[in-house]
Amino acid sequence: MRSKSKTSLALPSIPLLKKNPIRSNLVRSALFMAVVLLGLSCQKEKKKRMLNLPRTDMASENLIPKPLKIIATESAFALDQFTAIYTSENASGFEEVGNFLAEKIKWKTDLDLPVNALAKETQQGVIYINQSDSLEINAAEAYQLYITQDSVVLNSNTATGAFRGIQTLQQLIPDAGNDTLAAYKVWPIATGKITDSPSFEYRGSMLDVARHFFSVADVKKYIDLLAYYKYNILHLHLSDDQGWRIEIKSWPLLTEIGGSTEVGGEAGGFYTQEDYKEIVAYAAKHHITVVPEIDMPGHTNAASASYPILNGNGKKAELYEGTHVGFSTFDTRKDTVYAFIDDVVREISEMTPGPYFHIGGDESHVTKKNDYIYFVEKVSKIVKKHGKRMIGWDEVAQADIDSTSIAQFWSSRANAEKAVSKGMKVILSPAKKVYLDMQYDTLSKFGLHWAAYIPVDTAYVWTPEAYEGVPLKNILGLEAPLWSETISTIDELEYLAFPRAIGYSELSWTTKENRDWEGYKVRLANQAPYLDRMDVKYYPSPLIDWKKSKYTYKEIKKD
Ligand code: TNX
């Protein structure tokens, strides 16, 4: 198992010096030599320790989403208190990825691994997160993971690729440490080589925080879970008839009045701009892009109740806490409406580093067709003016918009075809396949079933690559929306989202050749310890033979 490259990679010279104020070459090489010698002196004892490690098959690990290629070498790397993490120096974002990995290893194993620290005498195995320009991994978010007995080397062009790679590494760490191999706990990690990159560039989930409001803490937890399964998009549905959830400084009544309600008469709520920035920053730390949505010209009752001048349905807009759709509209022929939208898009875009702005555009049943088209065209220009790429639900494809706009196909194949004929990209969110608010079956505690019942197998067993005639080249990716008419707590949210959101991560990352329900079922069953540790109240679908786990979030905290 030992090779020259493995040994040299296990002794990264430059990162060791990162925090060292003395930067002379002499000191650098002296320290490097010291590390080399230290490494060599450890070899003997280390070899002995490794002989006792169990053989582990990387190819049968419970990885989700399943990587592109796995070559197992059936040995093990010992993760233990002597392991250290190093990252490439001067590679933007890599040290943060190393720190993130250390945090997650601490959480799972209670090990405190140093990141880019000077090597201690006791140091043995190394995890090296390396910036590499190799052509083999030049796709966005691609990475390679080489695990040998001596070292774990994660190569990626970008910090985002490295971040996806450390999710794989986290999943390879056994749930429980082994205390029979040594006087301390060891987590044997299967050796081999993984080469991986995603099928689709857009892998998202949407949270409807408008029908019911969810706190910043709730959203952060959802981000934690999405990141673990390599999602890269969180779409926030920030406004609807029942609530306006984002502070707009130039139009303060939106949240003061429009943020005060939610479905069922509960308290409502909204994000201050500081809250929103906190969510965006937290998502960015997880290499997830936030897509903000202001739904219009329909689904705008809360805005019109706050500022009646916006209203176009001819009736006085009263705050609304029911669940009907399609009764509200902006007045599409009023300049004030576009001045308002300009302010809203500007303020939100300024806080949103990602490239997208979602204008909604669904179910505008009381907007005349030509008014709707006029509206979408005008708003598409406003979005462009503020430097963003427009996304809209599939109805927007009826308007004369250019190929940079994106249609989110939720219901109408005809609209999806229109989008394709305009050269637009399409995000697949077919309600009957990926709506997380659809009930699993007739006994489901929460959710609706207007589109379908979606049990865990139906959610997984379909082929987005060939969905209803949308050409593969037009598919930007997949998004699983979670509408919140029937859920108001994080537990309820988790019941609907999990485990189905785990399957959608695989549909959007893994090639169709690498997917099969029988294999997935087993890998999913083995997510139970992670979900339990995260205190996720997932729906324990009877289709899955869930692995029994003794973990709970509280126990982990106590450890
Ligand atoms: C349809 S999907 C909607 C939402 C509802 C959802 C409930 C879409 C673009 N519009 O307004 O919340 O159904 O499943």
Atom of ligand 1 nearest to the CA of 429: 2
The CA angle 257-260-266, to the nearest 5 degrees, is 155
* Active-site position among 95, 262, 363, 395: 363
Closest to 200 measured CA to CA, from 402, 427, 389: 427
pLDDT at 23: 36
Residue 131: what residue type? Q
Task: Report the distance separating Cα 357 and Cα 296, nearest Å.
Answer: 12
Task: Report the distance separating Cα 40 and Cα 53, nearest Å.
Answer: 20
Task: Report the distance separating Cα 408 and Cα 479, nearest Å.
Answer: 9
Q: How far apart are the first and last CA of the chain?
A: 35
pLDDT at 83: 97
Task: Report the distance separating Cα 388 and Cα 353, nearest Å.
Answer: 10
Q: Where do the structural domains in the chain lie, given as residue ranges?
A: 15-196, 202-533
Catalytic (active site) residue 363: yes
Task: Report the distance separating Cα 247 and Cα 6, nearest Å.
Answer: 53
Say whether pLDDT at 28 is over 70: no
Task: Report the distance separating Cα 323 and Cα 330, nearest Å.
Answer: 19
User: Cα(427) to centroid of ligand 1, in Å?
Assistant: 15
Helix, strand or coil for residue 109? helix
Say whether pLDDT at 39 is over 90: no
Mean pLDDT of the chain: 91
Pocket test for ligand 1, best of 212, 237, 241, 325 (most atoms within 8 A of CB): 325
Of residues 37 and 186, the one with the higher pLDDT is 186
User: Cα(326) to centroid of ligand 1, in Å?
Assistant: 10
Nearest protein Cα to ligand 1, atom 7: 483
531: exposed, middle or buried (Cβ count in 10 Å: 0-12, 13-18, 19+): buried
User: Is the dihedral angle over the CA atoms 384, 390, 396, 401 positive or is it negative?
Assistant: positive
Cβ–Cβ under 8 Å, residues 544 and 521: yes
Atom of ligand 1 nearest to the CA of 484: 12
User: Cα(200) to centroid of ligand 1, in Å?
Assistant: 24
Residue 556: what residue type? I
Nearest protein Cα to ligand 1, atom 10: 362
Which percentage of the chain shows pLDDT scores above 90?
85
Say whether pLDDT at 11 is over 50: no
**Phi, psi of 461, rounded to the nearest 5 degrees:** -90, 80
**Phi, psi of 475, rounded to the nearest 5 degrees:** -85, 115
The CATH code belonging to domain 202-533 is 3.20.20.80
Comparing 15-196 with 202-533, is the CATH topology the same?
no
User: Cα(483) to centroid of ligand 1, in Å?
Assistant: 7
Nearest protein Cα to ligand 1, atom 12: 483
- How confident is residue 12, by pLDDT bands cut at 50, 70 and 90? very low
Judged by average pLDDT, the poorest of 243-257, 403-417, 540-554 is 540-554
Atom of ligand 1 nearest to the CA of 240: 11
Task: Report the distance separating Cα 110 and Cα 79, nearest Å.
Answer: 12
- pTM for this prediction: 0.92
Nearest protein Cα to ligand 1, atom 13: 483
Question: 380-414, pLDDT tens digit by residue?
Answer: 999 999 999 999 999 999 999 999 999 999 999 99
In order, the DSSP letters of 122-167 are T---EEEEEE---GGG-STT-EEEEE-SSEEEEEESSHHHHHHHHH
Nearest protein Cα to ligand 1, atom 5: 483
Superfamily of structural domain 15-196: Chitobiase/beta-hexosaminidase domain 2-like (3.30.379.10)
Please state the rounded mean pLDDT for residues 508-519.
98
pLDDT at 308: 97
Pocket test for ligand 1, best of 212, 239, 483 (most atoms within 8 A of CB): 483
Atom of ligand 1 nearest to the CA of 450: 14
User: Cα(299) to centroid of ligand 1, in Å?
Assistant: 10
Please state the rounded mean pLDDT for residues 450-466.
98
Please state the rounded mean pLDDT for residues 511-519.
98
pLDDT at 1: 29
Nearest protein Cα to ligand 1, atom 2: 410
Report how many helices (DSSP H) and strands (DSSP E) the chain contains, helices first: 18, 16
User: Cα(155) to centroid of ligand 1, in Å?
Assistant: 41
Q: Which residues line ligand 1 at a C-beta cut-off of 6 Å? A: 325, 362-363, 393, 410, 435, 437, 448, 483, 485
User: Cα(405) to centroid of ligand 1, in Å?
Assistant: 21
Question: 250-274, pLDDT tens digit by residue?
Answer: 999 999 999 999 999 999 999 999 9
Say whether pLDDT at 43 is over 60: no
